[in-house]
Structure 1
Amino acid sequence: MNENVVAESLGLRRPATSVIAECLRVQASVPPRTAAQRFFGISPLGRDAEPWFIGALGELDVAQRLGRLGAGWYVLHSVPVGTGSSDLDHVVIGPAGVFTINTKHHRGQNVWIGGRRILVNGQRTDHLRNAKHEAKRTSQLLSVAARALIDVTPVIAVVGARRMTVRERPHEVVVLRETELTRWLQRHPSTLTPSQVQRLASLAAQPATWKWMPETQVVGHPAFAQLRAAVDRARNTRRRWVFAVVASVPVVFVVASSTLLGVLLP
């Protein structure tokens, strides 16, 4: 991905910035684990911080995949919109046009897609409505900045789903697995010239385009990396405990059987 044209602040904004900031803010109130909790692999992640943590992992996964698009494509991550807390997970600009990518991390869950609704483990979601809203807002803001009508295609990237059943393709939103995203974008018909792509990328990189004032605080990506490593270590510890318990079952059975035989057959 060529980033020369997006040297402004948004062009250098790292993936999942907003979600990571909220995750760390919520996690800050969680007390440190005791020695016993660390020994048995209890996760350091607080219950309220967990949804933000999972969301951040999804955005980081998709960002890594978007980084493989190659020359002529420009990707902005965690784009803040307005003065509130709203942001766009990813904005992609390339030969195929402009796309907003809404990442949904549903690892191990069943996702059902209909023309007007997406269900996750049978529960209704607002994924389609939110994706359409983001694309519409992006189109409005970029059109004002470019002084021309800019079409934006909303895309939902579903990360880690156990099963994804497509009953009917939504008409206005593209829904893809994260593994399909990059290839779909690259194979999409070209609609913009290189100069148009470059101009739109330059406009999109400017905070003023999104009516956003740059933040002065530094988001703790290193702190999130440490938290992620701690969560992974805890998970591995729990797995070792499970393995140890399972492995000990035959030994216990043999010992118990030998003892019982010794009693029955003196």
Structure 2
Amino acid sequence: MTLHPPAMRNRVAAQLVIEHLLSRQTAVPPRTPVARLFGKSPLCPESVSWYLGAQGEITVGKVLATLPPDWTAFHAVPIGKNDTDIDHILVGPGGIFTINTKHHCGKHIWVGTRTVMVSGHKKAYLPAAEHEAERVTTVLRERMPLLAPVQPVIALVDPKQITFRDKPVQVKVLDARVLRRWLLKLQPVLSDDEIAEAVVILDSPATWRQHPSPAPHDVMARFAALDGQVRRARIRRVSWSIVASLGLCGGAVTAALLIEQAMLGG
């Protein structure tokens, strides 16, 4: 019996990022009971950026899941020789898009014609997004030579403010919260047949670099467990901060645990 790799649409948002995160966490020793009591994060410093990145991709994945059924989203698409992926590829009436997710909670974002700055630091987001779209365009045009270029998009998750000095020529930069509305306002540019053909190409594992991965539900179950630990640790740190600000001495541990229980909803 021949076993075929799973279709690309079965991959979940942030799958490759989560795999990297879980791999790094295997070397992290378990927290002591005291460390857990005081809310030490289970994440090692090297894992924090992977964790935040996963949260951002999952957020955008949830947005894409709310689109009408004539839109198809692919997540964590492995491409190239290195261990890299494209966060999301989206196909629908409004066109074909590569969506690069950037999680910058509470940050000020400045966007120019060729530059994106995050809290004053330049980021090479625009050329990277353009390159991703060009790669997918090349892949699709091998079978659909008349296809229009793929549109690169950068979806910013939870920014405090986005300031546009100038709008980039090729890349659409927007807040992830308005991504769905923007997509649905686009004029149709693809026929049903073109959408179906593009989906078949993108859905085939043979189109992409083969990346051995555990089953998506196993990846997400392990991430959910880790995410729960991170959130509980954060609540404990907040609890202790409240106790300290109130100047409580006697019964401080009990007070902290009661606050934590209340914040968790009992």
TM-superposition CA deviations, 1:186-205 (whole Å, max 9, x none): 10111011121111111110
Determine the structure 2 residue equivalent to 1:184.
182
Determine the structure 2 residue equivalent to 1:264.
none
Matches within 5 A, 1:254-265: none
1:10 and 2:29 are equivalent in the alignment: no
2:210 maps to which of 206, 209, 213: 213
Q: Which runs of 4+ in 1 moved over 4 A?
A: none
1:237 and 2:236 are equivalent in the alignment: yes
Q: Which amino acid aligns with 1:213?
A: Q
Deviation at 1:214, TM superposition (A): 4.9
Matches within 5 A, 1:14-33: 14-33=12-31
Determine the structure 1 residue equivalent to 2:149.
151
Larger-gyration structure (1/2): 1
* Matched residue SS, 1:48: helix
Measured in 2, the distance between the counterparts of 1:150 and 1:189 equals 14
1:95 and 2:93 are equivalent in the alignment: yes
From the superposition, tell whether residues 116 and 147 of structure 1 become closer, same or farther in structure 2 (CA, over 3 Å): closer
Measured in 1, the distance between the counterparts of 2:33 and 2:182 equals 48
1:68 maps to which of 66, 69, 75: 66
1:57 and 2:55 are equivalent in the alignment: yes
Deviation at 1:153, TM superposition (A): 0.2
Deviation at 1:9, TM superposition (A): 1.5
When structure 1 is superposed on structure 2, of 186-195 and 90-99 the one drifting more is: 186-195
TM-score by length of 1: 0.87
Number of equivalenced pairs: 243
Determine the structure 1 residue equivalent to 2:254.
none
Measured in 2, the distance between the counterparts of 1:204 and 1:77 equals 11
% identical equivalent positions: 36
Q: Which amino acid aligns with 2:177?
A: T
Unaligned runs of 5+ in 1: 1-6, 252-266
Q: Which amino acid aligns with 2:234?
A: R
1:85 maps to which of 75, 83, 86: 83
1:38 and 2:36 are equivalent in the alignment: yes
Measured in 1, the distance between the counterparts of 2:229 and 2:106 equals 21
Determine the structure 2 residue equivalent to 1:161.
159
Unaligned runs of 5+ in 2: 251-266
Measured in 2, the distance between the counterparts of 1:29 and 1:216 equals 19
1:198 maps to which of 175, 178, 196: 196
Deviation at 1:148, TM superposition (A): 3.6
Q: In angstroms, what is the RMSD of aligned CA positions?
A: 1.7
Determine the structure 2 residue equivalent to 1:227.
226
